[in-house]
Chain A
Amino acid sequence: MTATSAAIGSRRIISSRTGYRRRQIVNTVMLSLTGLLTALALVPLFWIVGYVIYRGGPSLSVDFFTQLPRPLGVAGGGVLHAIEGTVILTVLSGIFAIPPGVLAAFYVAGHPNTPLGVVVRFGTDVLAGVPSIVVGLFGYALVVKAQGHYSALAGGIGLAILMLPTIIRTTEEMLKLVPHTLREGSLALGAPEWITSLSVTLQAAGNGILTGFLLGLARASGETAPLLFTALGNERFDLARMVQGGLRAGQSLPATLWNVIEQPVDSLPLTMWKYAQQPYPERINQSWAVALVLMAFVLLVNIVVRIWSQANTARMQGG
């Protein structure tokens, strides 16, 4: 017996067996509880995925992706118009959101404590919390009212506003991760600040920025609410005919493309929403299939981004 325990008393009060049994039981209970709740949290995910595949899978076919909608009662037909519309809206929103988003992030990351930096950051947070339907209404007031009609352009601007906070925030985080010494290396060679930002910082943070952009894109491409007021939806949208017709009539390519984005367009979530409201079983089934395509698209973007950015990181780290 050591001197210390002898000083307390001859009997040891605390031994390694004290409460061992109790600790064991508590541990088992808590571990099981966390496991169970984790499984429970995953149930909705698998349920949704499973059910959407179950309901939407049978309606999928090649035609579904390559054909325009047919009148009710006529078999076949697809949602090519909505796929084209989604692509157009996505590209437009990217064009509108990326340049200002990335530049704003550069400013905020470089000048975090200036009044403008604080305002931009606060504004970004507020914008991220604005309900998407309100953003749609804003797009309506800003573009649709001014133009006098609904259009893909208005939809693209609406989605861009939704993506902006995601892009600014992710880009800023990525820029902050770039070590200061890297910038110094460039500045010490005599490079001005803006060249350093463009050719060193942007490259070092490029992966993260692209990831943020694609995730923002995936999210925006699933939005319905802002499109209701802006892109509206257009079941007669026929990209191929518009482009061919325009070019045949002797229009320049830019003019033709401008015509395209001047039209109202459909998108996948918009189509899903409209079809699901119709009292016809074939439309309902197609709505499920659209849901499946949309889900698969978002999942695909996520997976591709992950694989690509991991491969790229490994390459730049020399792995």
Chain B
Amino acid sequence: MTLTMTSAAPAAPTALPQLVTVARRADGTSVEAVPSQQKMVVDCVTVHYGKFRALADVSLTVAPNRITALIGPSGCGKSTLLRSLNRMNDLTPNARVDGEIRLDGENIYGPSTDVVDVRRRVGMVFQRPNPFPKSIYDNVAYGPRLYGVTRKAELDEMVETSLRRSALWDEVKDKLAQSGLALSGGQQQRLCIARALAVEPEVILMDEPASALDPVATLKIEELMQELKAEYTIVIVTHNMQQAARVSDYTGMMMMRPDRSGEMVEFAATPVIFTRPKDRRTEDYVTGRFG
């Protein structure tokens, strides 16, 4: 992967002259070095589990319609950070989140926040596919029903749209009444993505979505992410650095401090992280010299 830092001239002569630094990928596509738009902002977030500090003073910006990857060794707090983004940490006893996480400018840990609404707008896909022991149809319809959609025609449409978006429709359209557990691992994971899409979220969090899948299924999920990016904002945690390099636009490199709390070592456009990291630890990690 080669990288060129260029100061791109404004595309249209009518636009105000401004300097946009872009990071260019090997395939010629490019991404803003610093995102100019913000879907979510993590602002000095510290997470405690009881007395144990799991995450120390982490900040990053999640750009809309981009894929943001969180990488780093085990135990560095990637999943903790991800689970703070839709308040899944609330479910862990004694968890405390300090700092602000803003979704479209609004603090999701504010006193007037509706947790249910946060989780609807920020969906989640887990490491292991976890379809409910229900039919494929009922799996996808679960969310809409939760939010009060009862008309058959509307549900049918939402189920089909979600399954189409998760690239599963053609494989399951004739067996919607079958159990979701009857599908293969990769199909189950796409079913879980469809289930998350059905409540019309804005952001999708993925916690190592392909780590339990074989390479073919992994590729499918990665292709799917590229398609979903047009309509959704995606944050993905991954152990697989090639995957982060392939799919993401921005990468956050996290590490564990000596006191075992996680910190953000470096956050930048993915091409920068993988070719010109500023931090020595990032370079060691992405080049495999890290123990």
Q: Which residues of A line the B interface, CB within 8 A? A: 179, 181-182, 184-192, 195, 199-200, 203-204, 315-319
Given A184-B126, A185-B126, A317 contacting B179 (CB threshold 8 A)? yes
Q: Which of B91, B130, B147 gathers the greatest number of chain A CB atoms within 10 Å?
A: B130
Residue among A188, A189, A317 with max Cβ neighbours from chain B (10 Å): A188
A204→B181 CA distance, assembly (Å): 12
A190 to B86, CA, bound (A): 10
B143 within 8 A of A: yes
Let me know if A315 and B179 touch, CB within 8 A: yes
Is the CB–CB distance between A190 and B126 below 8 Å? Answer: no
Interface pairs (29), CB distance under 8 Å = A181-B128, A182-B130, A182-B132, A182-B133, A184-B88, A184-B91, A185-B126, A185-B131, A186-B142, A187-B119, A188-B88, A188-B126, A189-B119, A189-B120, A189-B123, A189-B142, A189-B146, A189-B196, A189-B199, A190-B116, A190-B146, A192-B116, A195-B146, A199-B142, A200-B132, A203-B133, A203-B134, A315-B179, A318-B179
- Which residue in chain A gives the minimum CB-CB distance to B144? A189
Separation of A190 and B133 alpha carbons in the complex (Å): 18
B5 within 8 A of A: no
Query: In whole angstroms, how far apart are the Cα atoms of A319 and B181 in the complex?
Result: 9
Beta-carbon contact of B132 and A186 below 8 Å: yes
Nearest chain B residue, comparing its CB with the CB of A205: B133
**B66 on the interface (CB 8 Å rule)?**
no
Query: Which residues of A sit under 8 angstroms from B91, Cβ to Cβ?
Result: 184, 187
The residue that A184 contacts in the complex, of B130, B143, B183, with Cβ under 8 A, is B130
Alpha-carbon distance A127/B75, docked complex (angstroms): 45
**In the complex, B178 has a CB within 8 A of chain A:** yes
Whether A185 pairs with B195 at a CB distance below 8 angstroms is: yes
CA–CA, A200 and B134, complex, Å? 9
Report yes or no: B182 in contact with A318, Cβ–Cβ below 8 A: yes
- Tell me if B62 counts as interface (CB < 8 A to partner A): no
Q: 1/0 contact trace for B224-236 toward A, CB 8 Å?
A: 0000000000000
Q: How far is the CA of A182 from the CA of B196 in the complex (A)?
A: 13
A199 to B139, CA, bound (A): 11
Bound-state Cα–Cα, A185 to B115, Å: 15
Please report the C-alpha to C-alpha distance between residue A204 and residue B139 in the assembled complex, in whole angstroms: 13
CB <8 Å contact, A188 and B182: no
A316 touches B119 (CB 8 A): no
Most buried by B among A184, A195, A317: A184
Are A188's CB and B179's CB within 8 A? Answer: no
Closest A residue by C-beta to B122: A188
B215 to chain A, nearest CB (A): 23
Is A203 a contact of B178 with CB atoms below 8 Å? no
Further 15 A-B residue pairs, CB within 8 A, beyond A188-B88, A318-B182? A181-B126, A181-B127, A181-B128, A181-B130, A184-B130, A187-B91, A188-B86, A188-B119, A189-B123, A189-B146, A189-B195, A191-B146, A204-B132, A317-B181, A318-B179
Question: Which chain A residues lie closer than 8 Å to B199 at the CB level?
Answer: 189-190
Residue in chain B with minimal CB distance to A315: B179
B171 within 8 A of A: no
A187 to B86, CA, bound (A): 10
B234 to chain A, nearest CB (A): 15
Contact B126 A189 (CB under 8 A): no
Residues of A within 8 A of B123 (CB): 188-189
Closest Cβ–Cβ distance, residue A119 to chain B (whole Å): 20
A317 contact set on B, CB distance < 8 A: 179, 181-182
A187: B residues at CB distance < 8 A: 88, 91, 119
What distance in Å separates the Cβ of B98 from its nearest Cβ neighbour in chain A?
Answer: 22
CA distance A204 to B134 in the complex (A): 9
- Report the bound CA distance from A184 to B119 in whole Å: 11
A190 to chain B, nearest CB (A): 4
Distance A319 CA – B178 CA, assembled complex (angstroms): 11
* Chain A residue nearest to B132 in the complex (CB): A200
CB-based contact B88/A190 at 8 Å: no
